[in-house]
Chains A and B, each alone.
Chain A
Amino acid sequence: MNEHAIESIRRVRIAWPLAALCALQTPLCPAASPAMRDAATHEQLAEQWSKTQQDDPMKLLPAAQGKDPAGKPPQDLLSQSDILSFGGMATLVPKHAILLIPKAMAERTRFAAGSTLLGWAEFYARNRGWITTVEVSREQAEGLEPLAADVSKRFSDAPNLVVATYQGGPISVLPPKAPRPATATLTENTKP
């Protein structure tokens, strides 16, 4: 790579991000940044850091009351998903979206190293031969209603892997819940 090429990279990489950020954050951008500088040292940054701590812009707003609500944020998508993998392609579907895994296809629910990850729509379009989808309702997905009897019966001898979908997108299907006991309802116009 010659000097001209390096200079081109330098110009292209600096040009728009600096301009974009400066357009939003004028106070942050020195008017004339040096074209080249020595790498920042701990001492220089410690001084800036100290100032940043003192001038934290969020401290200008009223302080929030109460304790940290963060709890445990979502850790990773993989632990919330099942994997479908075949022919060098793979995709992720929500846990409990796979309703049936025939024994012969158990291997296809493990990620094969080197596979290309695809979104569901693209993966399904290329693997219709061994995947069957079953459209479920919102109530069925929440476990409030059972799957249709004929659908459940079809599973018993289905050669294909079965995925629950809602409007074409994979959806988790929760275990059926016990029907809610009847509860009294209040009416506003009840008279004593």
Chain B
Amino acid sequence: MNSHLLRIALLLSAVCTLASAQTAAYTNFVRQIQSPSGVQWDASVAATGEQLSPLPVDSAGSRFELWTVLASPLTSYLLDTSYVGAYIPVAFVTLHSEDPYGPILRTRADRPFSVVIAVSGLLSGTTVPVSSKSVNIFHYVQSYGVGGTGVNLDRSQATLLTQASIAQNGTQTFSYAVTSVPGADRSKVRGEERFSVFTLADYQAPVTQIASSYIQIWPVADGSLTGLTQGQLIRFSLPQVTVTLNDLYPSSTSYVQVYPGNPQLGTVGKTVPGSVLVINDSVPQSRVLTLKGYDALFDNDGLWTMELLTVTPFGTDRLAYVSFNVDRTIKIISNLTTDE
């Protein structure tokens, strides 16, 4: 039994590392679920650290589930699971994205991510049980639907994308350039990708999930500037501009800037007052802003460009731009005539 306890310690260590990423709005819970009895034990853990589970692993194994719960609205998210048993290999699934947000890993529909699957405890030989010789990996994808956020998602409806077998201990890394979550518009897909490791069934135990983890995929933002048209000549005050922002990434800062000259990516201009919008949330957001009284930014006549930008963990994206001419110089043409 000691070896089991050691394994549990390692598992709890791993989940506590995840738990350390919690923010104030989330509370983490670790549940140990005994098999086959179904008894559940709440393994209270600190945000960081490790501990031995005092509850011995049951005859057919124990599953550890790491949950995080949002108090408002009261919603729970399964972050990670691990299964420990006497004759069952151990596996860990770790996902990586460019966004450091936790506890729920996430990325955007146009960004890469990777998954690392570490398997140990596999045995070889003719006398060892089938379930100890290899494990199966399953890759599932599931859309949240238009405007969906994944709350109350029925995960039994996920689509199995790929399945593979691993018969050797070690680490496998799989890299994906973009998401495979289903959706007609590839820039607007939202959903999740899940990687699960299962044992093979044998006479001692049924097929058992020993590790699983998922990543949320959020859509690429889009936006528009209305009130100014391409090539418009501005003779008096600058017009009111309506800024429409859709699907802003949950961690993003968006703003409008102006600069003289033609549009050129990478140009740093003057930020239009009242246009800065900071989003720090768990799901994408949409907003409409109105800009007016920003004439003071234009200190010279000529061609100007207005750009709508959004800064995310993935870099800066230009969502919209428009160029227009400013000509506010008053020219007085007159004749001076003398008469004697």
- List A residues at the B interface (Cβ < 8 Å): 1-3, 6-7, 9-10, 13-14, 16-18, 20-21, 24-25, 27-29, 33-42, 44-46, 48-49, 51-53, 56-59, 61-66, 68-78, 80, 90, 92-95, 97, 111, 113-121, 138, 141-143, 166-172, 174
* Contact of B313 with A52 in the complex, beta carbons under 8 Å: no
Complex interface: chain A residues within 8 A of B116 (CB): 24
Q: Are B78 and A74 in contact (CB-based, < 8 A)? A: yes
Known A-B contacts A21-B98, A48-B178, A61-B165; the reply to A142 vs B160 at CB < 8 A is no
Please measure, in the bound complex, the distance between the C-alpha atom of A94 and the C-alpha atom of B100, giving whole angstroms: 31
Chain A nearest Cβ from B126, distance in angstroms: 19
Of all A-B residue pairs in the complex, the 7 with the closest CB atoms, nearest first, are A45-B186, A94-B40, A61-B164, A40-B110, A64-B136, A77-B76, A117-B27
CA distance A184 to B315 in the complex (A): 70
Q: Mark B49-80, 1 if CB is under 8 A from A, else 0.
A: 00000111000000001010101101110100
Known A58-B139, A93-B42, A170-B41; 5 more pairs at CB < 8 Å: A21-B113, A25-B175, A63-B163, A76-B75, A138-B39
In the complex, how many angstroms separate the beta carbon of A1 from the nearest chain B beta carbon? 5
The answer to whether A169 and B165 touch (CB under 8 A), given A40-B110, A45-B110, A45-B186, is: no
How many cross-chain pairs have Cβ atoms below 8 Å apart between A and B?
A: 263
- Which B residues are in CB contact (< 8 Å) with A70? 138, 140, 156, 158, 160, 196, 209
Q: Bound state CA distance, A63 and B314, in angstroms? A: 34
Of B6-14, B235-243, B286-294, B316-324, the stretch lying at the interface with chain A is B316-324
**B16 interfacial by beta-carbon distance below 8 Å:** no
- Give chain B nearest CB distance to A44 CB in angstroms: 8
* Whole-angstrom distance between the Cβ of B251 and the nearest chain A Cβ: 8
**Contact for B41 among A37, A78, A94, A174, CB less than 8 A:** A94
